[in-house]
Amino acid sequence: MRVVGFVGASGTGKSYRALWVAKERGIDYIIDDGLLIHQNLIIAGKSAKKEPTKIGSVKTALFTDSTHRNQVIDAIKKYNPKAILILGTSDGMVERIAETLGLGAVSEKVYIEDVASDLEIKQAINTRTGQGKHVIPVPSIELKKDFSGYFLDPLQIFKRKAKGHFQNMGEKSVVRPPFSYNGKYTISDYAIYQVVNYIIVGMDEMDKVARFRINKGDDGVILDMDVIMVYGYNLVEAIKKAQKMIQIELERFAALNIREMYITAKGLVLKKSEP
């Protein structure tokens, strides 16, 4: 297996450029911050950017946990890539990851200064330190389970091939890990209820929320509610519409991953209540 290292200090834009560095060298597999990635898909591992502390993030990126490490090793054996790109903040980090995963020697190293200008690197560092934003080279849908409750933004990356022509390098996600904050943030159940209730009351087919319950977990939330509906509408279509609207708004408003949503039509009224 050909092992290539992509080296640069933290926050200089390695993950942002990882896909095209890999493609230019004929590499389909990337190891970045604890993840094994193949063509915009997470094959194995867990993201270091989910860790609540900086130390925990570094340990995950170095595969210190045996369960995590063995999962990635097994996936590499299964897919048997011809080449793999390892991202790291130093030569030593890249070499240590290669050794830990049993990949052999690093045959080539690419440095961030080789693929980004001084201005681009400075801008990336300012974004990291000033806004706490990190890039992961996979689409947001791949991260929903691991990043429930954190802010996610899709980012389509293109690279110029010739004048007037661009190559789509795939979708990336911008995340704000918990260790980038001075402290933590929480979203109360009541705030979530208020969003849901606003949507329900605003629908012609719905009158009000009669009961609301939320269960939070590491991989998302489960919503369970009873609603009073207005007579004369198709109940099934109205409930499907409500589910879709609630999911869209909670993802937009609070970046919540909705695992399941139960809406029960508990009663009917002939006309909507007065606001």
* Cα 136 to Cα 18: distance, rounded to the nearest angstrom: 9
Averaged over 30-47, what is the pLDDT? 90
* Sheet order of strands, 29-32 included: 41-45, 35-38, 29-32, 83-88, 2-7, 108-111
Identify the CATH homologous superfamily for domain 189-269.
Cation efflux protein, cytoplasmic domain (3.30.70.1350)
Least confident piece of the model among 58-67, 72-81, 125-134, 142-151:
142-151
pLDDT > 70: percent of the chain: 80
Q: Are 142 and 42 in contact (CB under 8 A)?
A: yes
Averaged over 134-140, what is the pLDDT? 69
Residue 4, pLDDT > 90, answer yes
Who has greater pLDDT, 248 or 129?
248
What is the per-residue pLDDT for 104? Answer: 92
Who has greater pLDDT, 257 or 235?
235
Averaged over 113-141, what is the pLDDT? 79
Residue 229, pLDDT > 80, answer yes
Averaged over 118-129, what is the pLDDT? 85
What is the per-residue pLDDT for 53? Answer: 78
* Number of Cα atoms under 13 Å in the Cβ half of residue 48: 25
Averaged over 81-104, what is the pLDDT? 94
> Residue ranges of the domains in the chain?
2-180, 189-269
Q: Are 104 and 3 in contact (CB under 8 A)?
A: yes
- Residue 188 dihedral angles phi and psi, to the nearest 5°: -70, 155
What is the per-residue pLDDT for 216? Answer: 78
What is the per-residue pLDDT for 223? Answer: 93
Least confident piece of the model among 20-29, 190-199, 200-209, 244-253:
244-253
Residue 101, pLDDT > 60, answer yes
Instruction: Number of helices (H) and strands (E) in the chain: give both, helices first.
Output: 9, 12
Q: Is 255 left (phi over 0), alpha (psi -120 to 50) or beta?
A: left
What is the per-residue pLDDT for 159? Answer: 47
CB under 8 Å to 165, separation ≥6 — which residues?
Answer: none
What is the per-residue pLDDT for 185? Answer: 60
What is the per-residue pLDDT for 166? Answer: 47
* Cα 178 to Cα 244: distance, rounded to the nearest angstrom: 28
Residue 221, pLDDT > 80, answer yes
- pLDDT band at residue 35 using 50, 70 and 90 as cut-offs: very high
Mapping DSSP to helix (H, G, I), strand (E, B) and coil, where does residue 274 land?
coil
* Cα 211 to Cα 110: distance, rounded to the nearest angstrom: 57
